A and B are shown apart, each in its own frame.
Chain A
Amino acid sequence: MVSPTTMAAVRASGAIPNAEYLLSAEGIRKEFPGVVALDDVQFKLKRGSVHALMGENGAGKSTLMKILAGIYTPDQGEVLLKGQKIRLQSPLDALENGIAMIHQELNLMPFMTVAENIWIRREPKNRFGFVNHGEMNRKTAALFNRLNITMDPQTQVRDLSVANRQMVEIAKAVSYESDVLIMDEPTSALTEREVAHLFTIIRDLRAQGIGIVYITHKMNELFEIADEFSVFRDGKYIGTHASSDVTRDDIIRMMVGREITQMFPKEEVPIGDVVLSVKELSLKGVFHDVSFDVRAGEILGIAGLVGSGRSNVAEAIFGVTPATSGTISINGKEVDIDSANTAIRHRMAFLTEDRKDTGCLLILDILENMQIAVLQDRFVKGGFVSERALTKVCEEMSSKLRVKTPNLSERIENLSGGNQQKVLIGRWLLTNPRILILDEPTRGIDVGAKAEIHRFVTELARDGVAVIMISSEMPEVLGMSDRIMVMHEGRVTGFLDRAEATQVKVMELAAQ
């Protein structure tokens, strides 16, 4: 075992000959109480390549990545950096060995400037030992210049969009001059244009010989950016292939270990009367003159780039942030929805975009998470909750939605993203909604759970529920919707019927 500092020194001196692989891991095993997260897993990253990790949630790719980034230490197996065995004790240790990780949750300090965030712990000092802000800002500007990012180093991070924060994270990782960059779903909050920019940066870094570990759920990104990919399933290593050698179906088969015959099980169901009618709805400064109807059994897709106002429209209809003008009618009767409570009384349901922030009661158990919305009007007598009846209904819902858990008293934070989402869907289905708003229902969810959620949505439509589905994933919108409403910068730019909708037409309306 070599200490990190000597390792860093050796690395700097360039004494180590180029090993075949930049970073490799063999025979990795990691156990958590009750679960084997990784079992005899291997991984090999070539110099100057982008290597994608694929697998359903819970497959073990996050655990592997955390081992490579020094967050976890493996129980068995070894990690080799340029042929040298290393044993990382902390993320800092990993950074000093030239392995930087960009987390999915952004770890920036909102009240500090961009430059301060990037150089934290490494601030350039003047001769009195104080931070030299001028030098720090110059270094940041140079870094941004190299990455082709246009941003003022002195902006406070809290004033940045999510996409720009992501760019800061990337710049920060690059600033460590690392050999290995680990990216965990870096595009989940980015618009198409920003994704393109990110990919340019990645190709640039790759050309400089940096190895990039890239975790994604998006198949098209894999084909666009990755040279190789490794698939994991249930904590086991399945295989590594060049992305040019395989098809989308091959990968899905490797990931789920079974064929998914139909990704989008959309059924043609009879479409009924207009249930929800929105007229000239506006929220000052956010979106304007949004009008649309949704009918019973219909799935209305809402497409548009992040920031186009899609989610804001949903929040306004549901009363989370009521609109400043316009009308909402349900079954032909105009209603005043001033809070989520009112919306629920009108039998609406709203699966929000952000599972962690506005969905899950993370520290509470599955049962408590599932029952919270239905308690507004059912299963309560004289203030007391009819515990037994409600538990039974929740158990039925949980098995119907195939939530994978030993029992309902498990904390929801211990479930995978897909299972959390199923619990939240269960929360809303218990309220018997006739209008269901889904905002990014399958974001960050593995392929298997995704297909199941699509199937539930289809079933709901068949039962006559009016569904509004907001999604950034083009195949999902195209595959599931009867009609697609496209938004751009707070305005509706057009409607497309299922028959005429194509990716190109949606993008034309969304990007204008």
Chain B
Amino acid sequence: MSTNSAAQAQAAAQKSARRLPPELNIFLVLIGIALVYEVLGWIFVGQSFLMNTQRLTIIILQVAVIGIIAVGVTQVIITGGIDLSSGSVVGMTAMFSASLAQASTWPRALYPSLTDLPVIVPLAVGIGVGLLAGFINGQLIAKTKIPPFIATLGMMVSARGISKWYTKGQPVSGLTEQFSFIGTGIWPVVIFLVVAVIFHIALRYTRYGKFTYAIGANVQAARVSGINVESHLVKVYAIAGALAGLAGVVTAARAQTAQAGMGVMYELDAIAAAVIGGTSLAGGVGRITGTVIGTVILGVMTSGFTFLRVDAYYQEIVKGVIIVAAVVVDVYRQKKRKT
């Protein structure tokens, strides 16, 4: 009798454990990191880390661009692929969109006849160029069957080259107020959250999402089930490219200038955000909600270091350790659930 009820209790516990969203763990990690900073803050700096709205806003603001990229990269990783080109695409699209967002009052406009254009033009061009880069990534992967790592590595190098070639290394400045507005205040965060909500819904409730997971889980089974794997992959990479393009526009708008070196290493931060958020590099697993939390963790980490006045060199060292630790914890958790 007692063993019976114990078994029932165990079964019930398992059932409820299964119901909990998988993001809960990573959310607890986020809270944990924040609390550690809170305590360290009172000890070493003599002030609160969390009770500072301005700081919290800046945290999200700083990672909004990474977050926008990470939403696209998450989808790519769910298919079992990877996108290394997003940082360079940010640089390239920042340059292209900024060059069409210059004010006529600026004396050294790149295209003097194309100044004071409505904001939709640079926005569309930025997203469009990103989409094109992603489309090329997808075509390469689908048609030539080269590994995504290589295809997007090529794009990473070439897109950075294009950004430098475009103005021979000169920054693009004198942007219209309308354009810069995209990067001011809370707007980057709003754009990030809107993008996150859209693709959260797309992944969970649309055919696009179901096929994305299916391809990542077992590409051969997906193909036999009638999914046109090649065209679907092109879509996923194109979307990731378009989101990197959007991130490029936001970056240029926020800085009120574009430089060829923008977005360097962003691809790795975006991948880190996705992976910390529970996306599996093996494919088939991942959620946008997790990625959003992963992005915020990256932001909190950086902001906390600055808050504690930790040397920038140490920051990078510790950041690397935390990224790996987060994934190690996740791997162990997965293993425990399996056996």
The answer to the question of A380 belonging to the interface, with a C-beta cut-off of 8 Å to chain B, is yes
- The CA of A350 and the CA of B339, in the complex, are separated in Å by 32
Whether B285 and A363, one on each chain, are in contact in the complex, defined by CB atoms closer than 8 angstroms, is yes
Least CB distance, B11 to chain A, in whole angstroms: 6
Q: Are B228's CB and A375's CB within 8 A?
A: no
Q: Which of B202-239 contact A (CB under 8 A)?
A: 205-208, 210-211, 213-214, 217-218, 220-228
Q: In the complex, are the beta carbons of B207 and A380 less than 8 A apart? A: yes
Partner of A361, one of B10, B205, B218: B218
Q: Which residues of B contact A371 (CB under 8 A)?
A: 210
Neighbouring B residues of A427 by C-beta, 8 Å: 225
Query: B224 near A368 (CB under 8 angstroms)?
Result: no
Contact between chains at B285 and A340 (CB < 8 Å)? no
A window 349-379: CB within 8 A of B: 350, 352, 357-364, 368, 371-373, 375-376
Q: Does A341 contact B (CB under 8 A)?
A: yes
**Per-position contact with B for A313-326: 1 when CB-CB < 8 Å, else 0?**
00000101000000
Partner of B284, one of A34, A320, A363, A406: A363
Expressed in whole angstroms, the Cα–Cα distance for A409 and B14 within the complex equals: 13
Query: B217 is contacted by which of A32, A362, A387, A406 (Cβ under 8 Å)?
Result: A362
B11 contacts A34, CB within 8 Å?
Answer: yes
A375 to B225, alpha carbons, bound, how many Å?
Answer: 9
Q: For the complex, give the distance between the alpha carbons of A343 and B226 in Å.
A: 8
Majority secondary structure of chain B interface residues (helix, strand, loop or mixed): helix
A360 with B224: CB separation less than 8 A:
no
- Apart from A361-B284, A376-B226, list 17 A-B contacts with CB within 8 A: A33-B10, A339-B226, A340-B224, A343-B226, A352-B224, A358-B221, A358-B224, A360-B218, A361-B213, A362-B218, A368-B210, A368-B214, A372-B222, A372-B225, A380-B207, A383-B206, A385-B206
In contact, B221 and A341 (Cβ under 8 angstroms): no
Contacts of B217 in A (CB 8 A): 361-364
| A384, CB-defined interface residue at 8 Å | yes
Q: Quick one: CB contact mask for B224-259 with A, threshold 8 Å, 1 for yes?
A: 111110000000000000000000000000000000
B14's nearest neighbour on chain A, judged by CB, is: A34
| Cα of A430 to Cα of B81 in the assembled complex, Å | 30
Instruction: Tell whether A339 pairs with B214 under 8 Å between CB atoms, given A380-B207, A385-B206.
Output: no
Do B228 and A341 touch (CB < 8 A)? yes
Residue of A nearest to B218 (CB): A361
Q: Are B223 and A375 in contact (CB under 8 A)?
A: no
Chain A residues closer than 8 Å to B208, beta-carbon distance: 383
Q: Are A361 and B224 in contact (CB under 8 A)?
A: no
Given contacts A359-B221, A361-B218, A384-B205, contact A341 B227 (CB under 8 A): yes
Known contacts: A372-B222, A373-B226, A380-B207. The answer to whether A33 contacts B14 by CB under 8 A is yes
Query: B18 contacts the other chain (Cβ, under 8 Å)?
Result: yes
Cβ contacts under 8 Å, B210 to chain A: 368, 371-372, 375, 385
Q: Decide yes or no whether A95 CB sits under 8 A from chain B.
A: no
Which residues of the other chain, B, contact A383 by a CB distance below 8 angstroms? 206-208
**What's the nearest-Cβ distance from chain A to residue B232, in Å?**
11
B15, B205, B218: the one within 8 Å of A385 (CB): B205
Chain A: CB-nearest residue to B339:
A32
For the complex, give the distance between the alpha carbons of A339 and B226 in Å: 7
CB distance from B247 to the nearest CB of A (A): 24
A-B residue pairs, 8 tightest by C-beta: A361-B217, A344-B226, A373-B225, A341-B226, A376-B226, A358-B220, A372-B225, A383-B206
Interface residues as binary, A26-44 with B (CB distance below 8 Å gives 1, 0 otherwise): 0000001110000000000
Inter-chain CA distance A344–B15, complex, in Å, is 36
Report A-chain residues with C-beta under 8 Å of the C-beta of B222: 361, 372
* Chain A neighbourhood of B284, CB < 8 A: 361, 363-364
Q: Are A364 and B214 neighbours in the complex by a CB distance under 8 Å?
A: yes
Closest-by-CB residue of B relative to A320 is: B224
* Given A360-B218, A364-B217, A340:B205 Cβ within 8 A: no
